[in-house]
A and B are shown apart, each in its own frame.
Chain A
């Protein structure tokens, strides 16, 4: 497979560094406001927990115009006592380079994997550039399970607001768990640790012209690790607070990329998931504690309106692959008042499995198919918000667990119809 070609100055820098033990990758695009904090936390984490290791920080940038790469280059830790170090240690080596290929997080990661391969690193970690809650401990928790525990892949585990991460909670986590049998709670968390060996394995896959190059990268990394029997664990990192996503980022495009990548992986790993029954926990590291989370505002009326509009206009399209009894349920739900609005878990699981089967059978243009899922997804989220309005974090987690069990119990539907 063709590899990324680096600029001359990056090549020279890599030749100079030659080898490293740890690589921390930060993908970015116009994150000058937040990336300084992330770089500081990464540097502090390396100095505090891995000062005897040779570490490199790689910023893979998508052509920022706000000076993101300059911030990365200029950010230093001057006050060593603030990270409880009483002696000066070597500063972390830094590489800031623009990536090539389709604009997106996946392309940024590809550059990071390539550099990891060139430097023959033992452990890698990637963290988002818009994080406000990252601390030096995140680096320890993402690196140590690989370095000392023999794991290949460390997924994050966060405390998030009950209405946050809704694609994860309603589709990606339950579906991935039901298919591959591992309870990785944040499969698209965005902050991961992995071995150099796994980074090399990722590079052997020819996926960089697909949705994996964009938002699909996170689920692709997690699923590839699980389905290929790499040792997987998760680390509790505390709260995940980040800058609001780009308001221009369209929900249906995001859904299309993430769900599309998940369905693509179902094609690749059919032989793996067709024999899986139930699920098991994965080892979890980190000290669990409760955190205060920022409130999330929700416009329920608008969500239900969008669901109703979708039912009115897209039913003709859906009924070509969704059985009539499920369509009847959907129509009945569209007639419910805001107070009574409810989409049961069983119905939601049937919808997702039917979309997966329709995507597999290629019954229509894939982008049209997956983008038409948006109103149904919004309806499910509205139903969840109403249901969980007064629930505590633990109760919400129980509801998600119930949904996961429904996905697991019904996975025969997809196994039997996958011809």
Chain B
């Protein structure tokens, strides 16, 4: 009876206690790394906030439309705060991952390995989206101003179309990077883009036939009154 009790209760408990004792240093190390991560994250946040203020990051981001983008998304915080907080969080996340790895649990290690392998893709996709947004805004604004100065009545539409096309291209590239619906996304983009161009061509061809005729007649016959003003 005693032997049975030992085999059912005492030995497993002993093994469990042994494991706990073996595992305890790992847990302690893990907790220590985790706490260091939090402390370092907070320090980095403050340090980078000072650095961003010194290099006048807020003025730079305002110039390139980043602040406008954030405001549209309901975020009123300055870019320096956002980026410094991001760096703080990134530090904490990295330390948390390291803390988890020190636990030496095979299941966690497998998940972490997969996560680490995928992480660069997420980062690159985020960068692509960010650059795509800034570039879309910049070139869209340039197209808008040029169209207005050329006297194009559809200047607003031209600006928006250019901006949207660049952003769509960035989204496609980001999704491609994340390996989400690889072939489908590219084909969808090509179909949508081709469709838009075809629709515009047909619309201009049919709807704008008379306008085009009138315009060409004016140009060829010189009916339009021109300015002789010498601006300089």
The answer to whether A binds B is: yes
CA distance A389 to B53 in the complex (A): 54
B155 adjacent to A364 (CB under 8 Å): no
B231 touches A309 (CB 8 A): no
Q: Give chain A residues whose Cβ lies under 8 Å from the Cβ of B59.
A: 361-362
What are the interface flags for A333-377 relative to B under an 8 Å C-beta threshold, 1 for contact and 0 otherwise?
000000000000000000000000000011111011001101100
B46-66 interface (Cβ within 8 A of A): 59, 62-65
Q: Which one of A116-124, A162-170, A230-238, A274-282 is at the B interface?
A: A162-170
- CB–CB A374/B149 < 8 A: yes
Residue numbers in B under 8 Å from A168 (CB-CB) = 232
In the complex, per-residue mask of B113-157: 1 if CB is within 8 Å of any chain A CB, else 0: 000000000000000000000000010011011111101110110
> With A313-B156, A313-B159 in contact, is A375–B149 under 8 Å at CB?
yes
Q: Which listed residue (B152, B156, B225, B231) contacts A254, Cβ 8 A?
A: B231
In the complex the two chains form, is A298's CB within 8 Å of B229's CB?
A: yes
- Identify A363's interface contact among B62, B144, B148, B225, CB under 8 A: B62
Asked if A165 and B231 sit within 8 Å, CB to CB, the answer is yes
Contact of A163 among B156, B224, B229 (CB under 8 A): B229
Minimum CB–CB distance from B90 to chain A (whole Å) comes to 29
Please measure, in the bound complex, the distance between the C-alpha atom of A83 and the C-alpha atom of B209, giving whole angstroms: 60
In the bound complex, CA of A258 to CA of B231 (Å): 11
Contact B231 A251 (CB under 8 A): yes
CB-based contact B226/A375 at 8 Å: no
Of A242, A296, A372, which contacts B145 at CB under 8 A?
A: A372
CB–CB A297/B228 < 8 A: yes
Chain A residues whose CB sits within 8 angstroms of the CB of B153 once the complex forms? 309
* B65 nearest CB neighbor, chain A only: A364
Bound: A412/B155 CA distance, A:
36
Distance in Å: Cβ of A107 to nearest Cβ of chain B: 17
How far, in Å, is A49 (CB) from chain B's closest CB?
28
B184 beta carbon closer than 8 Å to chain A: no
Which residues on A sit within 8 Å (CB–CB) of B151?
302, 305-306, 309
In the docked arrangement, what's the CA distance between A255 and B229, Å?
14
B141:A368 contact, CB within 8 angstroms = yes
| A: contact size bracket | 35 or more
Report Cα–Cα, A314/B142, bound state, in Å: 11
A252 interface residue, CB < 8 Å from B? yes
Which residues of chain B are within 8 angstroms of A250 by Cβ–Cβ distance? 149
State the CA gap A313–B138 with chains docked (Å).
Answer: 16
Q: Is B230 an interface residue (CB 8 A)?
A: yes
B149 contacts A371, C-beta separation under 8 Å = yes
Chain A residue nearest to B225 (CB atoms) is A299
Closest to A252 in B: B149
A41 interface contact, C-beta 8 A: no
User: B76 on the interface (CB 8 Å rule)?
Assistant: no
Contact residues, B138-188 vs A (CB, 8 A): 138, 141-142, 144-149, 151-153, 155-156, 159
B227 near A245: Cβ-Cβ < 8 Å: no
Question: Smallest CB-CB separation from A309: which chain B residue?
Answer: B148
Within the assembled complex, what's the spacing in Å between the Cα atoms of A261 and B167? 34
B141 near A296 (CB under 8 angstroms)?
no
Residues of A within 8 A of B226 (CB): 297, 299
Known: A306-B151, A363-B62, A365-B138. A314 touches B229 (CB 8 A): no
A53 contacts partner chain B, Cβ-Cβ < 8 Å: no
- Pick the residue among A218, A252, A298, A372 that contacts B227 (CB under 8 A): A298
The reply to whether the CB of A58 lies closer than 8 angstroms to some CB of chain B is: no
B62 cross-chain contacts in A, Cβ below 8 A:
363
7 closest Cβ pairs, A-B complex? A252-B149, A299-B225, A296-B228, A167-B231, A374-B149, A297-B228, A313-B156
- Listed by A's residue number, 8 A-B pairs whose Cβ atoms lie within 8 Å are A215-B232, A251-B231, A252-B145, A254-B231, A299-B227, A306-B151, A310-B149, A368-B142
- Give residues in A with beta carbon < 8 Å to B: 163-168, 188, 190, 215, 218, 242, 244-245, 250-252, 254-255, 258, 295-299, 302-303, 305-306, 309-310, 312-314, 317, 361-365, 367-368, 371-372, 374-375, 381
